[in-house]
Structure formats: structure tokens, C-alpha cells
Amino acid sequence: MKACNVALFLLVFALAACGGGDATTKSDSAPAAAQTPEEKMLAEGKGVGEIKFVELKTPLEADRVERGKAIYDMKCAACHKLDDKRIVGPGWKDVTKTRKPEWIMNMITNVEVMLEKDEEAQKLLQLCLTRMPDQNVSIGDARDVLEFMRQNDGEK
């Protein structure tokens, strides 16, 4: 009988020693939940949308600048000035110095989702009080507008 009690005691002791501690200790050391691709892009300041990476070239691509200016004149100039003055939307001066190229292109091509999910886009909406309309700009055209914005900000 004593042998059974000793064996039982040792078994209980062994199980207690092998336990993983209480639940708070486990959860404190558990890795954070992985970010979704959308959360990662937002955290990196790239916004939300199809544009994940933009390669910028130096010097500026003159053909893109020219096409971007034509798109600006047709679709953007009514609401956006090229200086820092706000009309309906914010002025474009220094936008390429304060925003990542992916963010700019996602804002142009994916405005509704950006206004819904991106904190910086929401701040602009609060400032301007008017939602940017979806101008149905293609990714290629948005890239041309970005190149025009770079020129507007003094890049060569």
C-alpha cells in the first residue's frame, strides 16, 4: 500500500512539474497574431489596394509626366491645385515627399476602400469634408499621375 501511495505521489508530482503554468503565462509569451496583407500595407503607409510596390526611376520619365499632366488637367484640376492651397481636395505640393508612391496610387485607384480603411485618407476627408469621387483611373494612368506629381514636387 505504501508503495502505491509513493508511486501515486510521484506521478502527481511529475505531472505538476511538467505542467505549462497558468494561462496568463502562456498567453503573455505567445506570438502576436500574424498581420493580414492588408494590415501590413496599412502599417507600412502604403494604403489599401492593388498597388503593393512602385519602382521610381531617376530621372523622371518624360512621357509619363506628359500623360500624367493631361490626366490631371482632365480629371483632377477641378478639385486639386498644384500648390498647397485647398480647393475641394488638398493641394498637391509636396505630396510625393509626405506619402509613399503606393499610397498615392492606391488613393487614386481605390478611393472608396482607402477612405473606409486608411487612417490618413480618413484625416483628409475630415479636413476637406468632401469624398474624392472614383475617377475610374487605371493603374497605368495612376502611375503617370504619380510621375507628374513627382515633377510638380521638384524632382528631375
Q: pLDDT tens digits for 39-66?
A: 999 999 999 999 999 999 999 999 999 9
pLDDT tens-place string over residues 103-132: 999 999 999 999 999 999 999 999 999 999
Give the C-alpha separation, 149 to 143, whole Å.
10
**What average pLDDT is seen over the chain?**
86
Right CATH number for 57-156 from 2.102.10.10, 3.10.20.30, 1.10.10.60, 1.10.760.10?
A: 1.10.760.10
Model pTM score: 0.78
Question: Residue 86 pairs with which residues in a beta bridge?
Answer: 80
Higher pLDDT, 17 or 103: 103
For residue 53, what pLDDT is reported?
A: 97
Buried b (16+ CB within 10 A) or exposed e, 102-137: bbbbbbbbbbebbbebbeebeebbeeeeeebeebeb
